[in-house]
Structure 1
Amino acid sequence: MGSLRSLRWAAGSYFRLFERDASSSLRLTRNSDLKRINGFCTKPQESPKAPPYTYSHRVPLHKPTHWERKILIWSGRFKKEDEIPETVSFEMLDAAKNKIRVKISYVMIALTVAGCILMVIEGKKAVRRNESLTSLNLEKKARLREEAAMKAKTE
């Protein structure tokens, strides 16, 4: 038990010593012009020069293609193609595309439901005529056998 306690004390003192060294090197980098990296000194960095261009915080604009113009009209963002400005923001274009995606998915859902209802109606009609897949397959096989027999007679 005593050796475990001494081991924990040694580990704690080692980490405290390491923290002290790390914090002193951090203080050096903050307070002086020289940066200390792995024991080497480097020259102080020159102040960054202003870039030759000026960056404005405006939203980047995009010139819409013919297809994107149609999307902007279909989404209801603009009434006519004449109303669409020369450049539009990417956010406006993304919003219009998302709106079209939602509309298309609604149409596909409606077509799927309509198709299911149509198949149920056709199935009920087939039941009334006493048609089933089994009877249709048996009739088709009988027809094929008759055709094969006719072909065998002619040869």
Structure 2
Amino acid sequence: MLVNVALVIGTFLFMEGVAWFTHKYVMHGFLWSWHRDHHNHHKGFFEMNDLFAVVFSLTAISLIITGVEIPELRFLAWIGAGVTLYGFFYFLFHDIIVHRRVKVKLDTSGRYMQRIMRAHYIHHKVHTKEGAEAFGFLYAPKKYDRSVKQSVADSKSSAV
């Protein structure tokens, strides 16, 4: 039981590295054609970029089915559950909170949420394949924290 929980949590944590690598080298690399519309304004709810969610979902489903059907590979079901859990949080943070693709009122005033959102907005300042930074989805380094002085200055300038 503890091993299964560790597999789910470990996979969830590992997925942030997989997502960072995929975002930097695949989405901003050879599959930029799928990711490009995510960096530009477009009409409609769906994006080509959503194909990445389909690929990760099919991977998770395959892992879960294999783990359930083949007793010797049962651990794969727990790894698939970790991938699914990461996908859920990715959807919540990235699509609902940051990009507001689903209109839900959520409190994003916390330091962690502000850091994640700021890093993602900085990532989206670049509308091309090259030159972007901040490729993580659920983790952003402290350099994306806004200093208290900066927050006060920003609020004063936006009030004018």
For this structure pair, what is the TM-score category when the shorter chain's length is used for normalisation?
A: under 0.3
Larger Rg: 1
Higher relative CO (Cα under 8 Å, sequence separation at least 6) belongs to: 2
More helix by share: 2
Q: TM-score, normalised by structure 2?
A: 0.20
Q: TM-score, normalised by structure 1?
A: 0.21
